[in-house]
Amino acid sequence: MNVKWPKIPLYIIATLLFGVKTYIIYRFMFSIELDNSMQELILFVNPFVSAFLIFALSVWFKKQSRQMKFLRYTALIGTVILYFNLVFYRSFTDFITIPQLFQASNMGDLGSSILTLIEVYDIFLFADVAIIWYLSRKKSDSVAVKYPRSGKAFALAMSFVLLAGNFFLAEMERPQLFTRAFDREYLVKNIGLFNYHVYDLAVHSKVKTQRVFADGTELPEIKDYVDQLRSDEKSDLSGVAKDKNVIFISAESLQSFVINEDVNGQEITPFLNSLVGDKDTYYFENFYHQTMQGKTSDSEFLTANSLYPLSRGAVFFTHGQNEYHALPELLSDEGYYTASFHANNKSFWNRDQMYDSIGFDHFYGDEAYETTADNSIGWGLKDKPFFEQSIKYLQTLEQPFYTKFITLTNHFPFDLDEEDRSIEPYDSNSNTLNNYFPTVRYMDESIEQFFDQLKDAGLYEDSVIIIMGDHYGISETHNKAMSQYLGKEEITPFDHIQLQRVPFFVHIPGDGNGKVMSEVSGQIDIKPTLLHLLGITTENDIYFGNDLFSNNRKGYIAQRNGDFISDDYISTGDICYDRATGEPVDDNTSVVATTSNNPCKPIEDKVAKELDYSDDIIYGDLFRFVDFAENE
């Protein structure tokens, strides 16, 4: 007797296949932290909820051919979205946002960087797409394709029930999930990647309207707040560099964990190590980068404006036409000639437009340099020829000048020719970390060479030289290798925050009072610090940083995702840590709690307010309503 099995709807098969694939990516390819069984459950459920929500729409197509076509292409497009996020995550440990899709002009410059993020086994992520295509084309008579009205109503009702259930569990696990959405990982973990993208689109649409409705009435409240952050007290170094040139070196992907450390028995950064104890150098050992998705461009934005970057995309792209009151513009008003040097094309990170908005007089881009196959690698001109070729331009500038140099060689994937290596790669399971050390050493040598070139050119004595790591180079993806190098069992959330420290040096030839500074500090502080060193007043300016040499500072540094580092505490991953011990203050107390025994809560409120105020300025383009010259 032949048993006639009921036909299974193809959208159910597609949901199961796509849901399983998505869960595997979430669980084993994204480094998503799961703290309890509820988070495990939500992470397992949400891929199937999202898949059912989309695939179930197929029941509303009357024609079978359209149903099949919808299921095929939905599976393909969904997989492409998943895969693009996976490749992006492998590099940045983050998820794509709508603003980043408008940064596609950068993709042509990524080249080998993208290729290193693609794995051979990735082809299996398209297996379910192949199965769905096969079933829809060759076996459509074996699956259900015709649905009664009740079947269609069931599919629609079930979609809403599943979605509501997912959101209910997410809200239970993470209260105020959507109003406190600094962290994209929390959104993906709780509502799924595809619902996150819908949410991101809604947020993008909302912020695009903020400029239209802004009228400047928001500014008095913001001005009152920032005035409370700053100290009228002048530091001992105020005006010490008056009328001196400023040479700012933005050191690509340089993190503090390499300073005064060895690899394979050799110093990683011998020249920078020598500056740490130099009598003319102030070295900040607890200085943090505060960048987000814009990476190098975010660090440029922070240092120029003392405003926070955006939580989504790069402000250089999304708001390049805004009015700013930036460091280059202020220095130009004081008689400085301002220029940026970077051997990359002007359109990368939209620098050609943004540099005009923040007041640079000139940009020496790739057309100013002679780049050949021998003197370039990876992202472009190697650092040593970059500095060598820049000196001739520097000597022609009218003094005093403010110049920004952005290096390239120490950039992911950290390629370096054998003849340029002074130390050998590390030995771990991560080629990225292994190759990081030789490129850092090469950059260190190039900066030492640049110091000598400045002396030979007669520019050294009359200049202040700033060296700053722009952002992290080694992401969380390489935590296993990093724990091996650091001699730790694992990289904890506390360790991860500490790895966001980047070197910051202020070198003032002839000063003689240099020292190591231990205060918590960050890129938000650079604008007021440099202005005060040069003896330029800032009373009427609007910014969120402090003079690094002032004794009266706010005592904390905010990360763009809402984490912070203060003199006594570190807040990350919803845990409040004692900064001195690295231990949680109270295992049962999270940052989102309102209980009085959480010492991180008051600072968390200030951080949220600062980030919101900074966003208001950028999204509303509020500086167009301010005449800073009139206020001075």
- Residues with a catalytic annotation lie at 296
Torsion of CA 357, 360, 366, 369, to 10 degrees: 170
Number of neighbours of residue 581 by Cβ within 10 angstroms: 9
Count Cβ neighbours within 10 Å for each residue of 591-613 and write b for 16 or more, e otherwise.
bebeeeebbbbebbebbeebbeb
Question: What is the DSSP-derived secondary structure letter of residue 428?
Answer: S
Q: Which residue has the tokens 């802004």?
A: 214
Does 99 sit behind a cis peptide bond, omega within 30 degrees of 0 on the bond before it? no
User: One-letter amino acid identity for 500?
Assistant: Q
- Residue 402: beta bridge partners? 246, 338
Helix (H) or strand (E) segment spanning residue 131: helix 127-138
In angstroms, the Cα distances linking 406 to 331, 337, 340, 410, 512 are 19, 18, 8, 11, 27
The Cα diameter of the chain in Å comes to 99
Give the contacts of 352 (CB within 8 A, at least 6 positions apart): 346, 363, 365
Beta strand 245-251 with 401-406: parallel, antiparallel or unpaired? parallel
CA-based nearest residue to 99, from 208, 211, 214: 208
d(CA 167, CA 190): 8
- Rg over alpha carbons for the chain, rounded to the nearest Å, is 27
- Kindly state the DSSP code that residue 476 receives in the 8-state scheme: G
**Amino acid letter at 186?**
Y
Q: Report the C-alpha gap between 622 and 611 in whole angstroms.
A: 15
Q: Are strands 521-522 and 287-288 parallel, antiparallel or unpaired?
A: parallel
For 195-227, what is the HEC assignment? HHHHHHHHHHHHHHHHHHHCCCCCHHHHHHHHH
The Cα–Cα gap between 113 and 132 comes to 32
* Three-state SS annotation for 243-274: CCEEEEEEECCCCHHHCCCEECCEECCHHHHH
Q: Which of 119, 185, 132, 97 is nearest to 475 (CA)?
A: 185
Calculate the alpha carbon distances from 496 to 91, 108, 504, 571 in Å: 16, 31, 19, 11
What does DSSP say about strands 281-284 and 516-517: parallel, antiparallel, or unpaired?
parallel
Taking the C-alpha atoms of residue 608 and residue 591, their distance in angstroms, rounded to an integer, is: 12
Distances (CA, A) of 407 to 352, 475, 583: 18, 19, 37
539-544-547 Cα angle (round to 5): 65
